[in-house]
Amino acid sequence: MDKLREIVAAKPYFIWTSNIDHHFALAEFNNLLEIEGELANRNLLQAP
């Protein structure tokens, strides 16, 4: 994550991920969208 932080350091960014383990949030990145839900609240999308 340190290398990614170096790449986006002085740039606007938005992270769109299907990572449900909060790796980006834990690394203190902002502007996140976790599209498949997240495990902390058991908020997972269900297939119809």
- Measure the CA–CA gap between 45 and 39, rounded to whole angstroms: 11
Residue that is written with structure tokens 């290398």 in the block:
3
Residue-level pLDDT at 2: 87
The answer to whether 24 touches 15, Cβ cutoff 8 Å, is yes
Domain ranges of the chain: 2-44
Q: What is the model's pTM?
A: 0.56
What is the block-wise mean pLDDT of the chain (48 residues), using blocks of 10 residues? Answer: 87 84 83 70 57
The answer to whether 36 touches 18, Cβ cutoff 8 Å, is yes
